[in-house]
Amino acid sequence: MSASALAAQLFTGLVLGGLFVLLAIGLSLIFGLLTVVNFAHGSLYMLGAYFGFFLLGLTGSFWVALALAPLMVGVFGLLVERFLVRRLYGRSIDDPLLLTFGLSLVLVEAVKLVWGKVGLTLDPPRELGAAVNLGFMTFPVYRLFVIAVTALVLLALWLFLERTNVGLVIRAGSRDPLMVRALGIDLGRIWLVVFGIGTGLAGLAGILAGPMRGVYAEMGVTIVIESFVVVVVGGMGSLVGAIVAGVLIGEVVSLTTFVAPKLAEIMVFVVMALVLLVRPSGLFGEAGLLE
């Protein structure tokens, strides 16, 4: 394996890891505060890609689609939390899991009814369609753009959680919701905001992935399983764990695909098993969150 080929695979792993990070952070935010295992996350990722395709056809601008598609998925997430998930708070963790699993099936079939069963093509903007010479390899500009967007979103999310009053309440609510309620804060609105942010991130990952992976109804099925692996490896509810594990799993998949493509999907679970053997709660997780 040449050095340039290895570097290309490492950069490809970063791109894939960026998608995993966006999805896993959404899952971790929702689980960390609401204790909801959102099985519809993959379908919301798929919905982001289809909304992007719709908006691109409507406006002719990829940038407008990139800005509005995650917002549309986020608003849909708000409606899901308000009218479906909220009714199950305080019940067994299995109830919202089954609800979101059923919702994911409904969304896949609904998308097939609207856009058909045949996959669609989502083209990147012309200015990002070329490749750039990095000195040691040539790499598609759009994939570098995905890495940059992921880094900017992580920075914005960190500033939101660390430097705003709403972020302070979210962090406090995830650690001690009873105390936050005792201070007179309406946690229902906070949960609504968190669910909207988490689903919006899934929509963003979907439209970013569209030009690289294509747009089809089942596109969220495999990646949501890998994203759950990322969450488990990083530690349930841990944002730092989601970032570290997302990049780790992305690199594992990319390098394994290059060396032994048939083992790529298996290696994800091998890594998870090895991590859980050493740290049962994940790399950055806390024991007892699921109890």
In tens, the pLDDT along 5-30 reads 888 888 889 999 999 999 999 988 88
Q: What is the pLDDT of residue 175?
A: 67
In tens, the pLDDT along 217-241 reads 999 988 989 999 999 999 887 888 8
Q: What is the pLDDT of residue 238?
A: 81
Instruction: Record the tokens describing residue 99, joined without a space.
Output: 């609800």
Instruction: Record the tokens describing residue 172, joined without a space.
Output: 């406090």
Asked whether the beta carbons of 30 and 36 are under 8 A apart, the reply is yes
In tens, the pLDDT along 56-113 reads 999 999 999 999 999 999 999 999 999 998 888 878 888 988 999 999 999 999 999 9
pTM of the model: 0.91
Biggest CA-to-CA distance, the chain: 61
Q: How many other CB atoms are there within 10 angstroms of residue 36's CB atom?
A: 25
Give the pLDDT band (50/70/90) at residue 264.
confident
Q: How many other CB atoms are there within 10 angstroms of residue 40's CB atom?
A: 29
In angstroms, rounded to a whole number, what is the distance separating the alpha carbons of residues 154 and 21? 9
The set of residues, in sequence order, having a beta carbon less than 8 Å from that of 33 and lying 6+ positions away, is 170, 173, 174, 190, 191, 194
In angstroms, rounded to a whole number, what is the distance separating the alpha carbons of residues 227 and 113? 27
